[in-house]
Chains A and B, each alone.
Chain A
Amino acid sequence: MAELVRAYGRGLAAVFAGLTAVWLVLMVALPMANMTKRAFTLEIRDGPSAQMRVELERARQQIAVIDFDIAAAETEIARGSAPAAAPSPSDPFAGLTGRASPGMAAPSPGGGGAEPPEARIERLRAERAEAVAAIPAMAAEVERLRAGEDARAGLSVENFTTMSPLHWRVFGLTFLYCVAVTTIALVVCYPVAYAVAQAQGTGRAGLLLLGLVVPYAINELLRIFAWTMILANNGILNGALDALGVIDLEGGETIRWLASNGSVFAVMVYAYVLFMVFPIYNAIETLERAQIEAARDLGASVWRIHRRVVIPHAKPGIAVGCIMTFMLSAGSISVPGLVGPGLHPDWFSQIIYRNFFEAANWNVGSARALMLLILSTAFIIGVMRAFGVGVKEIAK
């Protein structure tokens, strides 16, 4: 902080510190805290208290209905002296003077007169008293159940423990798939990054890099759609195979590329390849060329040069690339969504998405998201251990 003040002056340093604080609190700490709280809060939506509350509500409605009936009966009694049972035409608003419209009164006034209004009021009053008497007990029951549920809900791991076996399977598969994507990306990108970093002359390296970067000027969704066009049943790939005579499109012979693990992998590697290439490229570029030549001069094979000289040097870059590719593929929703619908099992990120935006169950969604976060963090720590690099080297 003192250094910042010295370098940029008090005002700018304060702005930096303020922005950093805002970022840390608003962008990182608060959302994380909220998500964590939700994840560990059980929201019981159709538990016994909810059912009891429905019954309580029903009882209250019942009382209101009885009140209507009593009011109707009272109106009848008030008119009892009048000979006409039906509302008088001279008084068309008579029905509106009561507390309810006449049509609402259950028994028709002229309905055979099976029960005199007085007796009906008596009966209704008894019913009402009974219903009103029952309400406190029900309310108490609701409170009791709620308290029970709240005690269970307050801090609970149930959002995690109640995950279905299917979702657990998807969780595990997502991890394995993402590891596979990361591995494939590493295998593809390391030679590319090495070639670009070693390319003679800045022109060639620039051209190679440009070739890698330009496709990334296109929106990610469009890049993925481009792949669905290639891989579709009547797409470019099958068309090419048809032209080569491998398959017969006209005859309805197609190879189903979409909705398979292979195509999801291929598209995902393509989608995130740059995040693997750049860190490795940057790391290899700082390797003194003479070291590679020295190793070669001492008789080392290509494999040994890479294993003993290049890869140890590029380790931090490889670790960063692996971490980024893993995180991006674990969180990817567009690639499995667009390329993999159908045969391909869901990606865990899709389950999170549905919990938030289709089931509107944010607490469960938060729990799932938190699981993915923990998985990713574990992966990062694992990779850093495996490569023997610390945060410092990665920061470089």
Chain B
Amino acid sequence: MLDQARMQGREVALDGLSMRFGDFTAVHPTDLTIRAGEFFSILGPSGCGKTTVLRAISGFAAPSAGRVLIGGDDVTALGPNRRPTALIFQSLALFPLMTVWENVAFGLEARGMARAERRRRADALLELVALEGQGDKRPAQLSGGQRQRVAVARALAVEPAVLLLDEPLSALDLKLRQHMRAELKAIQRRTGVTFVYITHDQGEALTMSDRIAVMNAGRIEQVDAANVIYDRPETPFVATFVGEQNVFEGRVESVAEGFAAVATPQGRFRAIDRAGLAPGEAAAVMVRPERTAPAANAPSDANRFTARVERIDMEGPYLIAHLRAGDAAAALHVPNLAGAAAGLTGAVEAAFRPEDAAAFRPGGRARG
């Protein structure tokens, strides 16, 4: 089975690709290389142009400029039916009037394969996605997760070199979504097909992807592995769009050894300089709430600030203490252990390490 499912993933390259619709530029000129056989996600808020990039790769939209290369071949001029790609639609777009196996085998039917062979292949693919024996049902008789898997099997049936997924999990409930993440990842590993996954859900992107491209307003801001994106964001947008940030705005006092010292109304904070800041410049220091903690056990060089606890939210595994320090709102995450919330009342002193904080120029942050 595993050998049968093995396919040949290929590299996708965007060479100066740009997409304009009238006066509106959906995608600014972009260079991007997606490696063969990797699980690649394009993460961004709605309207950032990620779906347009996907449609350019699949061939449904013609680029205004630039080229699309798959496995080194220029496919810019080819239609979607002639590219070695398969697209999984957000709505799945299963054919409701065909049975499940006919859905899966549709691409093979279009290639003129004999019925018996089609059925055999469809059954093998249904096994791959754990839907044995469901071939004669209609899509409407399946559950949401099962329909999802039919869509995957249908796309894999044509043995694509690149599988494009357009937010296919957005319609599922949370548990199913988490389950499907693991399943998609496993299918990707087993088949070796290049997955290009479009999503606005950072959780999906972070858990599944080998690499993530974060997109904003038609531009790719950073392409990196999940941990790099999360821990070392290069732009204020990436920093604030992926995960949460406490933000303290102020003015740079000095820059030394890659660290900037920023004077803010909440205190003088040292943070990694991510923007090549100069003294005197306005800056924003960002630190994640889970790297912010009550100051009791903080090392001596930690940045400290005092704040008032406004309320404590229960998140399950951890508690979120919402703080107010002057004009700035901040939060800190406390593991949900016995007595964790005990000291979190009134005025508290919080601290974070300079290595966990980043200084950017203000502006360009994700809204939210």
Would you call A288 and B91 a contact (CB within 8 A)?
Answer: yes
Query: Which of B58, B81, B89, B157 has a CB less than 8 Å from the CB of A300?
Result: B81
Query: Which of A290, A299, A301, A313 has a CB less than 8 Å from the CB of B107?
Result: A299
Would you call B97 and A299 a contact (CB within 8 A)?
Answer: no
Would you call A308 and B98 a contact (CB within 8 A)?
Answer: yes
A148 within 8 A of B: no
Question: Could you tell me which residues of chain A, from 283 to 331, have a CB within 8 Å of some CB in chain B?
Answer: 288, 290-291, 293-301, 304, 308-309, 312-313
- A309 and B154 alpha carbons, distance in the complex (Å): 15
Query: Which of A290, A299, A301, A309 has a CB less than 8 Å from the CB of B89?
Result: A290
Query: Which of A288, A294, A296, A304 has a CB less than 8 Å from the CB of B79?
Result: A296
- A304 cross-chain contacts in B, Cβ below 8 A: 109-110
Question: Could you tell me which residues of chain B, from 58 to 93, have a CB within 8 Å of some CB in chain A?
Answer: 58-60, 79-82, 85-87, 89-91, 93
B111 within 8 A of A: yes
Known contacts A290-B89, A290-B91, A304-B110; is A297 also within 8 Å of B80 by CB? Answer: yes
Would you call A298 and B93 a contact (CB within 8 A)?
Answer: no
Would you call A308 and B106 a contact (CB within 8 A)?
Answer: yes
- B107 cross-chain contacts in A, Cβ below 8 A: 298-300
Residue of B nearest to A290 (CB): B93
Would you call A298 and B154 a contact (CB within 8 A)?
Answer: yes
Q: How close is B5's CB to chain A, nearest CB, in angstroms? A: 18
Q: How close is A337's CB to chain B, nearest CB, in angstroms? A: 43
Mask: chain B, 218-256; 1 = CB below 8 Å from A; 0 = not: 000000000000000000000000000000000000000
Q: How close is B255's CB to chain A, nearest CB, in angstroms? A: 51
Q: How many residues of A contact B (CB 8 A)?
A: 17
- A293 and B82 alpha carbons, distance in the complex (Å): 13
Tell me if A's interface is mostly helix, strand, loop or mixed: helix
Known contacts A299-B107, A299-B111, A300-B110; is A293 also within 8 Å of B89 by CB? Answer: yes
Known contacts A290-B89, A291-B95, A312-B97; is A297 also within 8 Å of B58 by CB? Answer: yes
Would you call A298 and B89 a contact (CB within 8 A)?
Answer: no
Would you call B95 and A297 a contact (CB within 8 A)?
Answer: no
How many A-B contacts are there with CB distance less than 8 Å? 64
Residue of B nearest to A304 (CB): B110
Q: How close is A269's CB to chain B, nearest CB, in angstroms? A: 29
B295 within 8 A of A: no
- B98 cross-chain contacts in A, Cβ below 8 A: 308
- A251 and B90 alpha carbons, distance in the complex (Å): 68
Would you call A297 and B86 a contact (CB within 8 A)?
Answer: yes
Known contacts A296-B80, A297-B87; is A291 also within 8 Å of B93 by CB? Answer: yes
Residue of A nearest to B90 (CB): A290
Residue of B nearest to A289 (CB): B93
- A301 and B110 alpha carbons, distance in the complex (Å): 7
B309 within 8 A of A: no
Known contacts A304-B110, A308-B95, A308-B106; is A299 also within 8 Å of B87 by CB? Answer: no
B348 within 8 A of A: no
Question: Could you tell me which residues of chain A, from 355 to 372, have a CB within 8 Å of some CB in chain B?
Answer: none
Would you call A297 and B81 a contact (CB within 8 A)?
Answer: yes
- B94 cross-chain contacts in A, Cβ below 8 A: 294
- A294 and B155 alpha carbons, distance in the complex (Å): 9
- A298 and B85 alpha carbons, distance in the complex (Å): 9
- B58 cross-chain contacts in A, Cβ below 8 A: 297
B298 within 8 A of A: no
Would you call B79 and A298 a contact (CB within 8 A)?
Answer: no
- A335 and B1 alpha carbons, distance in the complex (Å): 66
B158 within 8 A of A: yes
Would you call A298 and B86 a contact (CB within 8 A)?
Answer: yes
- B106 cross-chain contacts in A, Cβ below 8 A: 295, 298, 300, 308
Q: How close is B177's CB to chain A, nearest CB, in angstroms? A: 20
Residue of B nearest to A302 (CB): B81
4 nearest A-B pairs in the assembled complex, by CB-CB distance:
A298-B107, A290-B93, A294-B93, A300-B110
Apart from A290-B91, A300-B107, A304-B110, 16 more pairs, CB < 8 Å: A294-B95, A296-B79, A296-B80, A297-B60, A297-B81, A297-B85, A298-B107, A298-B154, A298-B157, A299-B82, A299-B111, A299-B158, A300-B106, A308-B95, A309-B95, A312-B97
Residues of B in contact with A (beta carbons under 8 Å apart): 58-60, 79-82, 85-87, 89-91, 93-95, 97-98, 106-107, 109-111, 154-155, 157-158
12 contacts between A and B (CB under 8 A): A288-B93, A293-B89, A294-B89, A294-B95, A295-B106, A296-B80, A297-B80, A297-B87, A298-B81, A298-B106, A298-B110, A299-B107
